[in-house]
Amino acid sequence: MDHNSLALPVGTTLDRFIMRKQEDFPYATGELSQLLRDIALATKIVNREINRSGLIDIAGAYGNRNVQGEDQQKLDVVANIRFIRALRNGGEVCTIVSEEDEEVIQTGNNQGKYVVAMDPLDGSSNIDVNVSIGTIFSIYRRISPTGTVGNEQDCLQRGTHQVAAGYVIYGSSTMLVYTTGNGVNGFTYEPSLGEFFLSHPNITIPASGSVYSINEGSADSFSAGLASFIAYCKQQSYSARYIGSLVADFHRNLLKGGIYIYPPTQKSPSGKLRLLYECNPLAFIVEQAGGKSSNGYTRTMEIEPTGLHDRCPLFVGSKDLVEKVEEFLAAEYSKEPVANS
């Protein structure tokens, strides 16, 4: 028997992968690599808290509302603390924007070169029913002078200025998926070893797909163009798949092909998702995977943010499907019919 067959390789760890890819950044001196490791560390801790939430009474509502006016879950608070602590202790980040905090968070690391915008725990209301939830993050280089206190302008950059973005999905397995502008790679967590291993190299989203993800409970408030697109999807016998957890819906469509839509509605005329730490990072990822993201008319990453918690409609996924819905939305105003192909 071949001795090597008794101890097969376990694969490439996230740390090793990051080190190998460091040459992708000629201006980097290791800070971005360390920052990604800090995020991975916080992810492992949050994953532990999620997996034992039903045993130590940290599931359910916390009793407060966040800046978005949404009821905070206990795990929202836990995840926010864990990520802020990891980023503060790491030293590479000067300023943080979080869904859970109204103002920018100063880390005290004035020498830090980076800014992080994050949704620490997206879809956390689903934790009580064991539905997959996630973390979304976006990384920018600061624009204020190094050595000074970071400010809001460091955070209010277009998505095109992102240097890295990613998400974590806590589901049947825990996966970290990220891009640094050179493709998209996914890593699966192996809890017995406490390591992320490369499991999905060079992720590419199918150019088209047969899945549309939208909350049709709001159909009465859809625009005529969007309603026509949904009717088109049904005519094509596409499958409706909507989990109600952004990361989970996006992750499925990224791997299988499809489109995720959170449109403007009467209740939320600007959409509900936040530009800085939900739409932009997912747009960066999907574009690097060969897909597309827009607000229905404009490329997501070219939208100019004016506030830390700006909201934005989101049409993201396979390129052909995003372009098709944009056709229907444009036709609503031009009154020109859309080709049914």
Binding residue per annotation — 126? no
Binding residue per annotation — 215? yes
| Spatial separation of the C-alpha atoms in residues 254 and 321, rounded to whole Å | 13
Binding residue per annotation — 122? yes
Neighbours of 63 (CB within 10 A): 10
E-strand stretches of the chain? 61-65, 71-73, 93-98, 105-106, 114-122, 133-141, 162-170, 174-179, 184-190, 195-200, 211-213, 239-240, 259-262, 292-294, 314-317
123 touches 167 (CB < 8 A): no
253 touches 315 (CB < 8 A): no
Residue 14 CA from chain centroid, whole number: 18
Residues in the chain: 341
Binding residue per annotation — 185? no
H helix runs in 21-145, sequence order: 31-51, 74-90
Binding residue per annotation — 31? no
Binding residue per annotation — 99? yes
Binding residue per annotation — 75? no
Rounded to a whole number of angstroms, the CA Rg of the chain reads 20
Binding residue per annotation — 38? no
| Spatial separation of the C-alpha atoms in residues 142 and 164, rounded to whole Å | 13
Structure token digits, residue 44: 């492992």
For CA atoms 267, 252, 98, 142, give the dihedral sign: negative
Binding residue per annotation — 123? yes
Q: Enumerate the known binding-site residues for Mg(2+).
A: 99, 119, 121-122, 278
Q: Enumerate the known binding-site residues for substrate.
A: 122-125, 215, 242, 272
Q: Enumerate the known binding-site residues.
A: 99, 119, 121-125, 215, 242, 272, 278
